[in-house]
């Protein structure tokens, strides 16, 4: 049987992009195109400034040099697409994000958080105090490979892969968040205390010049499937090396329960 997410994602959700570098800068513009005519507020978060080497590999221009990345994107995309885009030049922090939600008069609305960061501490900030029901779409990559993971329930909460009688048999509501699916995302790697952005990694031949645009496109596709109730994957792995591949991780009771460590529970008609 094929399963897909019964999503509560709609025009009332607030879209938060954490990290506006290689992946996030392209993703932010892609969101404006994808959400044309939709009322979703968009919030961009990144404490970094635009430097000269960013202009080659990221979605920025020379006249924006020295600006905060989130500010440059918010101002340019607001003008270009005629929509309100908020930004914060501070690292992601949940209390601030929820106060921002309240300021937007969407107290009871959920967030869709795009994690476009490249270090464990930034992902720890997203995973910390996770609000069940919000959606986290995490994009991470190496030189020529990467993964997109999506979920909405943290490890601190007991739940099962649901397909009860009140739902259609092929619909699920809960998926483990990215840091639950892949715990090593929260573990710092050697040298991560002095992180470099993706543009610098490209210059030093540690990252493909195209991998970030690929990851942004895949993250947008995941989001589009989520909001149209057609998402049937909980993860997607891409390799742009010699053996090019794109491998989804299907939403199945076996895959979800393998992560949460619970027994597969099936209905009478399965």
Domains annotated for the chain, with CATH where assigned, are 4-260 (3.40.50.720)
Q: Give 168's DSSP letter.
A: -
Q: Which two tokens stand for residue 225?
A: 């499937």
The radius of gyration of the chain from alpha carbons, rounded to an integer in Å, stands at 18
CA 206 to chain CA centroid, Å, is 22
**Calpha distance 57→46 (Å, rounded):** 17
pLDDT at 193: 54
Give residues with Cβ within 8 angstroms of 156, minimum separation 6: 130
Q: Tokens 């709609």 map to which residue?
A: 10
Least confident of 27-31, 33-37, 188-192: 188-192
Whether residue 164 has pLDDT greater than 80: no
Share of the chain above pLDDT 90, in %: 53
Band (268; pLDDT cuts 50, 70, 90): very low
Confidence of residue 196 (pLDDT cuts 50, 70, 90): low
149's torsion region: left (phi>0), alpha (psi -120 to 50) or beta?
beta
CA distances from 112 to 18, 66, 129 (A): 11, 29, 15
| 162 pLDDT higher than 60 | no
What's residue 217's pLDDT? 96
The tokens of 183 are what?
């715990």
Q: Is 150 helix (H, G, I), strand (E, B) or coil?
A: strand
Q: Supply 209's token pair.
A: 């010049």
Is the per-residue pLDDT at 48 higher than 50?
A: yes
User: From start to end of the chain, where are the E strands?
Assistant: 4-5, 14-18, 42-45, 85-88, 111-115, 135-141, 145-151, 171-172, 233-239, 245-250
Q: What does the chain come to in residues?
A: 270
> What distance in Å separates the CA atoms of residue 18 and residue 111, rounded to the nearest whole number?
12
The two three-digit tokens of residue 71, written as one number: 């500010």
Distances (CA, A) of 172 to 8, 75, 146, 196: 11, 38, 25, 38
């Amino acid at each position: 049987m094929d399963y897909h997410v019964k999503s509560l994602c709609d025009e009332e959700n607030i879209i938060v992009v954490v990290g506006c570098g290689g992946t996030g800068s392209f993703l932010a513009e892609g969101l404006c195109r994808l959400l044309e005519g939709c009322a979703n507020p968009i919030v961009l978060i990144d404490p970094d400034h635009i430097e000269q080497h960013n202009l080659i590999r990221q979605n920025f221009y020379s006249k924006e040099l020295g600006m905060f990345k989130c500010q440059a994107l918010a101002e340019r995309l607001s003008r270009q697409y005629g929509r309100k885009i908020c930004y914060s030049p501070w690292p992601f922090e949940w209390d601030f994000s929820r106060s921002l939600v309240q300021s937007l008069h969407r107290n009871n609305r959920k967030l869709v958080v795009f994690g476009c960061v490249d270090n464990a501490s930034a992902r720890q900030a997203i995973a910390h105090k996770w609000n069940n029901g919000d959606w986290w779409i995490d994009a991470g990559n190496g030189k020529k490979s990467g993964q997109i993971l999506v979920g909405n329930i943290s490890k601190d909460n007991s739940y099962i892969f649901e397909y009860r009688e009140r739902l259609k048999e092929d619909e699920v509501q809960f998926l483990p968040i990215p840091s639950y699916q892949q715990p090593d995302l929260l573990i710092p790697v050697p040298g991560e205390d002095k992180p470099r952005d993706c543009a610098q990694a490209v210059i030093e031949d540690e990252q493909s010049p195209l991998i970030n645009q690929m990851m942004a496109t895949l993250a947008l596709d995941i989001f589009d499937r989520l909001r149209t109730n057609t998402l049937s994957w909980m993860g997607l792995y891409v390799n742009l090396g010699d053996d090019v591949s794109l491998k989804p991780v299907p939403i199945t009771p076996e895959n979800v329960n393998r992560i949460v460590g619970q027994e597969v529970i099936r209905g009478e008609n399965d």
